[in-house]
Amino acid sequence: MVAQNNRQDGTGSTVDWYSAVFELIDMRSFSNLWYWIALAAVWSQTSRYVLGVPYDMIQRAGRHGGEAEIDLEDMVRINCNRLLYVAGVSGLWIVGFGAMLMTGLAMLGFYYDVEFAQAVFLLGAPMIVVGALSVNSARVIRDTALSGQPLRKFMHRHRIMTQFVGMIAIFVTALWGMYQNMTYGALGQ
């Protein structure tokens, strides 16, 4: 009951805590500034780390060579081996649970019209593409034993592909979010 959730705030006015919380944290995802900040942060971090290696490390290796180049090659080797080990040991389980989760989110979001599920799906689905690109790139790096300039060039190409996926994902999410805001914002829901 609403009366149980109300209390005096010391000034004589009544505070409805549910209204205050839901006003502060808008539960409609696409009209919430925090969702767009999270979307930007996710894609910023995703394009900053290329196979788990900070992009500035790749640039430093290209500028200075020597020890920076050795550090880059070691870091890439460690991250590629780790990624391929995880994919080899539990890849099928990850794919199975990921498919189940994304199918559930897609059904909840687009069939049952749950906006939060739509928002999470639009954050997660492109990450599956980036994950597949990363596993493929790690396999290519390991199988061809890339090092030096070819490794840096390949890592740069991987970053460009990741940024392209992010650009498409942000564009689709923005279009869908504007559609949702115009449709449901006009209805006052």
Per-domain boundaries in the chain: 28-187
Burial of 83 (0-12, 13-18, 19+ CB in 10 A): buried
Task: Give residue-wise pLDDT tens across range 162-181.
Answer: 999 999 999 999 999 888 88
pLDDT in tens, 100-135: 999 999 999 999 988 899 999 999 999 999 999 999
Contacts of 73 (CB under 8 A, 6+ apart): 147, 148, 151
- For residue 109, give the DSSP letter: I
Region label for 79, one of left (φ > 0), alpha (ψ between -120 and 50) or beta (otherwise): alpha
Are the beta carbons of 131 and 87 closer than 8 angstroms? no
Q: What is the mean pLDDT of residues 145-152?
A: 89
Instruction: Output 12 or 22, whichever has higher pLDDT.
Output: 22
- Which residues are CB-contacts of 116 (< 8 A; sequence separation ≥ 6)? 27, 29, 109
Does residue 42 carry a pLDDT above 60? yes
Residue 49: strand pairing partners = 54
Which two tokens mark 157? Answer: 């190409």
Strand partners of residue 6:
16
Q: What's the predicted TM-score (pTM) here? A: 0.78
